[in-house]
Amino acid sequence: MGDAVRIQPASKIQPGMSDESPMSTALVTETVASQLTASGRSAVAVIGLNGDDAESCIRKCFKAVRDREYQPGQVRYGDWNVANLTTDRGSAIDAGESVVVTPLAANRFEIHAHGGIAAVQRILKSLTACGVRVVNAENFASLDSPSFIQRENEQVLQRCTTIRNAAIALDQCRTGLPAWLAKIESSQPNVEALASFAETALAFSHVGLKLSQPYRVVLAGPPNVGKSSLINRLVGFGRSITHNEAGTTRDVVDCDTVIAGLALRLSDTAGIRDGGGEIEREGIRRGALAVGQADLVLLVVDPDCLHELPRLRSDVLETAPDCSIIEVLNQADRLEGHQNMRSDLLPEQQTVALPTELLNSEQDGIGTLSTEITNTLRPEDPAAGIAIPVTTRQVQWLRELAGATSMDQAMRCLACLKDGTE
Ligand SMILES: Nc1nc2c(ncn2[C@@H]2O[C@H](COP(=O)(O)OP(=O)(O)OP(=O)(O)O)[C@@H](O)[C@H]2O)c(=O)[nH]1
Ligand SMILES: [Mg+2]
- Same domain, residue pair 342 and 402: no
Choose the most confident range, by mean pLDDT, from 21-25, 37-41, 93-97, 147-151: 147-151
pLDDT at 312 over 60: yes
Instruction: Let me know: does 262 contact 249? Beta carbons within 8 Å.
Output: no
pLDDT at 389 over 80: yes
- Same domain, residue pair 371 and 256: yes
pLDDT of res. 422: 52
Whether 247 lines ligand 1, by a CB cut-off of 6 Å, is yes
- Same domain, residue pair 352 and 396: no
Ligand nearest to the CA of 270: 1
pLDDT interval class at 254 (50, 70, 90)? confident
Domain tally for the chain? 3
Nearby residues of 275 by Cβ (< 8 Å), 6 or more positions away: none
Residue 87 lies in a domain: yes
From 228, 279, 329, 362, mutation site for ligand 1 pocket: most ligand atoms within 8 A of C-beta: 228
* Tens of pLDDT, residues 12-34: 433 333 333 332 333 346 899 99
DSSP string, 122-180: HHHHHHHHTTPEE--HHHHHHHTSSSHHHHHHHHHHHH--SHHHHHHHHHHHHHSHHHH
- Same domain, residue pair 185 and 236: no
Residue 79 lies in a domain: yes
Ligand nearest to the CA of 226: 1
pLDDT at 107 over 90: no
Instruction: Let me know: does 85 contact 57? Beta carbons within 8 Å.
Output: no
Q: What percentage of the chain exceeds 70 in pLDDT? A: 84
Q: How far apart are CA 93 and CA 130, in angstroms?
A: 12
CA of 231 to the centre of ligand 2 (A): 9
**206 SS3 class:** helix
- Same domain, residue pair 189 and 313: no
pLDDT of res. 16: 30
Q: Give me the residues paired with residue 93 across strands.
A: 85
| Section 195-223 average pLDDT | 95
Q: What percentage of the chain exceeds 90 in pLDDT? A: 50
Nearest protein CA to atom 2 of ligand 1, as residue: 331
pLDDT of res. 208: 97
Ligand nearest to the CA of 301: 1
pLDDT at 82 over 80: no
- Same domain, residue pair 407 and 259: no
Residue 62 to residues 80, 85, 122, 202, 215: CA-CA distances in angstroms? Answer: 5, 12, 13, 50, 48
Q: Which residue has the higher pLDDT, 96 or 128?
A: 128
CA of 208 to the centre of ligand 2 (A): 33
Residue 148 to residues 88, 167, 315, 359, 420: CA-CA distances in angstroms? Answer: 34, 21, 42, 54, 6
Helix, strand counts (H, E) of the chain: 14, 15
pLDDT at 396 over 70: yes
Nearby residues of 33 by Cβ (< 8 Å), 6 or more positions away: 47, 48, 49, 50, 124, 127, 132, 133, 134, 135, 140
pLDDT interval class at 116 (50, 70, 90)? confident
pLDDT of res. 405: 93
> By C-alpha distance, which of 294, 287, 268, 257 is closest to 353?
268
Nearest protein CA to atom 32 of ligand 1, as residue: 331
From 234, 241, 242, mutation site for ligand 1 pocket: most ligand atoms within 8 A of C-beta: 242
Choose the most confident range, by mean pLDDT, from 251-260, 352-361, 408-417: 408-417
| Section 23-52 average pLDDT | 72
pLDDT of res. 206: 95
Q: What are phi and psi of 143, to 5 degrees?
A: -65, -20
Ligand nearest to the CA of 271: 1
Instruction: Let me know: does 259 contact 235? Beta carbons within 8 Å.
Output: no
Q: How far apart are CA 296 and CA 376, in angstroms?
A: 8
Note the Cα 388 to chain centre separation in Å.
14
* Tens of pLDDT, residues 336-381: 877 777 777 789 999 999 887 777 777 899 999 999 999 999 999 9
CA of 412 to the centre of ligand 1 (A): 56
pLDDT at 42 over 90: no
Whether 394 lines ligand 1, by a CB cut-off of 6 Å, is no
How, if at all, do strands 85-86 and 76-80 pair? unpaired
Q: Which residue has the higher pLDDT, 347 or 115?
A: 347
Residue 392 lies in a domain: yes
Q: How far apart are CA 5 and CA 13, in angstroms?
A: 15
pLDDT of res. 359: 73
Nearest protein CA to atom 16 of ligand 1, as residue: 242
- Same domain, residue pair 308 and 179: no
Residue 27 lies in a domain: no
- Same domain, residue pair 117 and 252: no
* Tens of pLDDT, residues 181-199: 988 887 888 999 999 999 9
Q: What does the mean pLDDT of the chain come to?
A: 83
CA of 226 to the centre of ligand 2 (A): 7
DSSP string, 287-352: HHHHHHT-SEEEEEE-GGGGGGHHHHHHHHHHH-TT-EEEEEE--GGGGGG-TT--GGGS-SEE--
- Same domain, residue pair 369 and 220: yes
CA of 113 to the centre of ligand 2 (A): 51
> Domain containing 40: what range?
32-143
pLDDT interval class at 70 (50, 70, 90)? very high
Residue 8 lies in a domain: no
